Amino acid sequence: MPYTVVERELELRLILAPERSIPVPALLGYRTDDPYAVHIAFHINSEHPVHWTFSRELLIEGVFRPCGHGDVRVWPTKAEGRSVVLMALSSPDGDALLEAPSAQVSAWLERTLRVVPPGTEAEQLGIDDALDQLLAQ
């Protein structure tokens, strides 16, 4: 079954200190064959991009209010008069605080929600069809 991909290239800022950050090219990705997740790939002076996958619902909520715990936390704030979304990512390899422009993230999320509206994610997986086929045998 073919699936749909919704992507958006944008520039994140890797926050190194309160007054110091560096630009980080990133690619936001959403696939209908993995409807509960968002994927972010970014380059931080490495040969291969760093990939993170986490809940689409977490990112949607994080555009409006602080959410998440553990490895991924997301919250809205203002930076130099601009609305931004901060993403704190933690792994055994290290921690990163990334800043993304709220308008661009929100516009991309709206595109994903048009492709797969909230509450219809399970339909994308075809679990009901597979169960019907299995039980029919």
Q: 130 falls in which pLDDT band (50, 70, 90)? A: low
Pick from 121, 21, 104, 116: nearest CA to 63: 104
3-class secondary structure, 124: helix
Residue 128 has pLDDT above 80, yes or no: no
Q: Over range 98-113, report the average pLDDT.
A: 97
What pLDDT is recorded for position 110?
97
The partner residues of 7 in beta bridges, in order of sequence, read 29
pLDDT tens, 33-87? 999 999 999 987 778 888 999 999 999 999 999 999 889 999 999 988 999 999 9
Q: Over range 94-120, report the average pLDDT.
A: 94
d(CA 67, CA 117): 21
When the pLDDT of each residue in the chain is averaged and rounded to a whole number, the result is 90
